[in-house]
Chains A and B, each alone.
Chain A
Amino acid sequence: MTFTQRHLLGIEPLHPAEITALLDRADHYAEAQRRGDRHGDALAGLTQVNMFFEASTRTQASFEIAGKRLGADVMNMAMQASSLKKGETLIDTALTLNAMRPDLLVVRHPHSGAVNLLAEKVNCAVLNAGDGRHEHPTQALLDALTIRQAKGRLHRLTVAICGDIAHSRVARSNLILLGKMENRVRLVGPPTLMPAQVGELGVEVTDDMAEGLRDADVVMMLRLQRERMDGAFIPSEREYYHRFGLDAEKLRAAKPDAIVMHPGPMNRGVEIDGTLADDINRSVIQKQVEMGVAVRMAAMDLLARNLRERVNGV
């Protein structure tokens, strides 16, 4: 067994071999789903709880479907509406839930590090479904799987990640993963949306789309949150689209077979041209969603194996 983690809290703690093991397993599930062989029993008898302290439709649905396809009992807890409103702390919520003995806990939280904190207090396997601006590991893994399937490899590729890097956990997890797998990563965006000293993380940084996309194999667009106008990060949506929005013209700087990715949900006409997003020859956005289920099945499968080994002392 190459994958030895107890939790999936981020990409940072993973060894490249563990990433490969996860992706190989996800390939297996993606293939099985394509064949119509959708149901497995890897999580049979296990309880999966989805705790989302921040609204999410796509990620929560993806985790729920992944769990159900592997036979887990899945429960969704909408945490915004529940105990936090009553003043319960995150740790008390975790301890309460822990006492109900779930096996897999999928957590999204608006604060960086909150999922790490919670993982220290529970016995089950914890999956980070996004914490603040920190990490969103399953998104990076599904992006990696999509890239590997489209390009036939996950190394020595040039990947441009474009847009609001500073507020993006997707960007963080992706740049860490792509760096671990020995790819060339470029971050493209206005300097106001770039994290401090991010250049020291082994990536190239530019505020010029033409330069950033030059000879890229993969162009990954990020969602621009509309509230960014308030903090004087950018002047307007239309200027942002003009300088940083991806359209066919800007994409010409990339390799002719470059693929276009977006973690969703998209703002058409803000960070990406709608027609380009729907272009099945360039855009792999729907494929990313499909791979999301496979990657989450793989992650929960491998974590459940480690969990059983730990419990049974095998």
Chain B
Amino acid sequence: MSTTLFTNVRLIDPVSGTDAPGELRIEDGRIAAPGPASEVVDCGGRCLAPGIVDVGVKVGEPGERHKESFRTAGRAAARGGVTTIVCRPDTIPVIDGPEMLEHVRARAAESVVRVRHMAALTKGRAGREMTEIGFLRDAGAVAFTDGTHVVEDTRVLSRCLTYARSLGALVVGHPQDPGLSRGACITSGKFASLRGLPGVAPLAERMGLERDLALVEATGVAYHLDQITCAASLPALVRARAAGLDVTAGISIHHLTLNVLDIADYRTFFKVTPPLRDEDDRVAMVAALAEGAIDVISSMHTPQDEESKRLPFEEAAPGAVGLETLLPAAMRLVHAGHLDLPSLWRALSTNPARRLGLEGGTLEVGAPADLVLFDPDAPFVLDRWTMASKSKNTPFDGARMEGRVIGTWVGGTRIFDRNNAHA
């Protein structure tokens, strides 16, 4: 019987909201009550928290393994304190049938962290025919989403939501009016006008959101918004929750820490979907997160190779990697005084785990021993070439960051040790 005792540790428990010195004992891969242990880990006063549950990770399998494989994504996750990745179905081909899902589940065994899968809501993410939501759920899909492909036909979406509701399946939506956002690669405004780039107004997000929420109200489906990024969208979200709809909302770490001006002279590593917003919107989103209006922070890890990014801004592929930088970037919110650590960990770990019906996200006895040990104040300058991800498209290259993962455990097994890391 393997038991480990973490001593001299600052325990971050998002469920009880505590941040206090203490000890934690794990037994056979699960968190256990205090008692004797065969191994003792002296944590030197650093923080121990539930591992991050990252919803919306893109792994390049199938189709783009040269950008990211389950093996490399798993290593990047381990280095970033992420113990569960919830993968997107926007692969090539799309994960839209149970056979495909079984295939990627088998491939995912190469990852050192836990992997869960979302499946497409419509076949080929084309917005016309519903996928086999029942079979896919039986095959292990934890949620259904067409990702950034908005289902334009409202009747199709309405039927998908009605059917998903009957199965109790969670649908993840991307709020965006497809007409207004067509062809856009940046948030419209003064900066976009100066750079001569086709922009989309924040209004497009609000309109997409209002439509989706009306359908959620009509169907009663469980609905998670992948990313809400504009102040103009918040009233609709707040109203929906006050009305008791089963709605949660997420945001990417990039929209919480960067704004449209970071694009500067057409820096394509800052091209993400939806595009980075104005500083006013960023500040409003941080406040909404602190107030609990936004539930989940994700990395929206989207690996792109150099060739996809070294293009004129309009032609460059969108997306940024984030598994390894999620924790240090999120620590900016703590260091700036917007959030305390337990609140941050609710958004990084507890809320996503609960929303997707996964174990984890807590330090309660009996929970899986998925843990991250980190130094909240350790400073470093990010060098993208040291990252484990196959793709190095991070917007934080050269950035000064504070907060570093020391060790990561999944089911009680140590999968990352910075002091013995070879890379």
Report the Cα distance A22→B192, complex, angstroms.
Answer: 28
> Which residues in A have their C-beta under 8 angstroms from that of B265?
113, 116
Which of the residues A91, A169, A201 comes within 8 Å of B196, measured between beta carbons?
Answer: A169
* B189–A112 touching, CB < 8 Å: no
User: Contacting chain A: which of B35-43, B51-59, B312-320?
Assistant: B312-320
* A90–B189 touching, CB < 8 Å: no
Report the Cα distance A53→B192, complex, angstroms.
Answer: 23
Report the Cα distance A46→B30, complex, angstroms.
Answer: 73
Tell me, rounded to whole Å, the shortest Cβ–Cβ distance linking A226 to chain B. 19
**Chain A, 52-95, contact with B by CB distance < 8 Å: what is the 0/1 string?**
00000000000000000000000000000000000001110000
Report the Cα distance A276→B315, complex, angstroms.
Answer: 41
Which of the residues B188, B189, B307, B313 comes within 8 Å of A113, measured between beta carbons?
Answer: B313
* A133–B196 touching, CB < 8 Å: yes
B186 closest partner in A (C-beta): A112
Tell me, rounded to whole Å, the shortest Cβ–Cβ distance linking B192 to chain A. 6
**Chain A, 170-196, contact with B by CB distance < 8 Å: what is the 0/1 string?**
001000000000000000000000011
Contact of A90 with B312 at beta-carbon distance under 8 Å, contacts A196-B189, A196-B199, A197-B189 already known:
yes
> Which residues in B have their C-beta under 8 angstroms from that of A113?
195-197, 265-266, 312-314
> Which residues in A have their C-beta under 8 angstroms from that of B312?
90, 109, 111-114, 117, 132
> A134 near B: Cβ within 8 Å?
yes
Q: Report which residue of A169, A172, A196 has the largest number of chain B beta carbons within 10 angstroms of its beta carbon.
A: A196
Report the Cα distance A70→B111, complex, angstroms.
Answer: 63
> B201 near A: Cβ within 8 Å?
yes
> Which residues in A have their C-beta under 8 angstroms from that of B199?
196
Q: Of residues 153 to 205 in B, which have CB atoms within 8 Å of A's CB atoms?
A: 188-190, 192-199, 201
Tell me, rounded to whole Å, the shortest Cβ–Cβ distance linking B249 to chain A. 26
B267 closest partner in A (C-beta): A113
Report the Cα distance A198→B194, complex, angstroms.
Answer: 8
Tell me, rounded to whole Å, the shortest Cβ–Cβ distance linking A46 to chain B. 27
> A227 near B: Cβ within 8 Å?
no
Report the Cα distance A90→B309, complex, angstroms.
Answer: 12
> Which residues in A have their C-beta under 8 angstroms from that of B194?
12, 172, 201
> Which residues in A have their C-beta under 8 angstroms from that of B188?
196-197
> B310 near A: Cβ within 8 Å?
yes
B263 closest partner in A (C-beta): A113
Q: Is the interface of B mostly helix, strand, loop or mixed?
A: loop
Q: Of residues 257 to 293 in B, which have CB atoms within 8 Å of A's CB atoms?
A: 265-266
Tell me, rounded to whole Å, the shortest Cβ–Cβ distance linking B194 to chain A. 7
> B33 near A: Cβ within 8 Å?
no
Interface size class of A (residues with CB under 8 A): 20 to 34
Report the Cα distance A132→B197, complex, angstroms.
Answer: 8
Tell me, rounded to whole Å, the shortest Cβ–Cβ distance linking B179 to chain A. 11
> A135 near B: Cβ within 8 Å?
yes
Q: Of residues 99 to 144 in A, which have CB atoms within 8 Å of B's CB atoms?
A: 109, 111-114, 116-117, 131-135
> Which residues in B have their C-beta under 8 angstroms from that of A249?
none
> A200 near B: Cβ within 8 Å?
yes
* A172–B190 touching, CB < 8 Å: no
Report the Cα distance A58→B286, complex, angstroms.
Answer: 51
Contact of A116 with B266 at beta-carbon distance under 8 Å, contacts A195-B193, A196-B188 already known:
yes
Which of the residues B197, B307, B310, B311 comes within 8 Å of A112, measured between beta carbons?
Answer: B197
Which of the residues B197, B198, B266, B310 comes within 8 Å of A91, measured between beta carbons?
Answer: B310
* A196–B196 touching, CB < 8 Å: no
* B313–A111 touching, CB < 8 Å: yes
> Which residues in B have their C-beta under 8 angstroms from that of A196?
188-190, 192-193, 199, 201
Contact of A201 with B190 at beta-carbon distance under 8 Å, contacts A112-B266, A132-B196, A135-B196 already known:
yes
> Which residues in B have their C-beta under 8 angstroms from that of A134?
195-197
Tell me, rounded to whole Å, the shortest Cβ–Cβ distance linking A45 to chain B. 32
Report the Cα distance A113→B310, complex, angstroms.
Answer: 12
Q: Of residues 1 to 23 in A, which have CB atoms within 8 Å of B's CB atoms?
A: 12
> Which residues in A have their C-beta under 8 angstroms from that of B189?
196-197
> Which residues in A have their C-beta under 8 angstroms from that of B198?
133
Tell me, rounded to whole Å, the shortest Cβ–Cβ distance linking B419 to chain A. 38
Contact of A89 with B196 at beta-carbon distance under 8 Å, contacts A112-B266, A196-B188 already known:
no
21 inter-chain pairs at a CB distance below 8 angstroms, sorted by A residue, are: A12-B194, A109-B312, A111-B312, A111-B313, A111-B315, A112-B195, A112-B312, A112-B314, A113-B197, A113-B265, A114-B312, A117-B312, A132-B312, A132-B314, A133-B196, A133-B197, A134-B197, A195-B193, A196-B190, A196-B193, A197-B190
Q: Could you list 7 further interchain pairs (A-B, Cβ under 8 angstroms) beyond the known A116-B265, A195-B193?
A: A112-B314, A132-B314, A133-B196, A134-B196, A196-B201, A197-B189, A201-B193
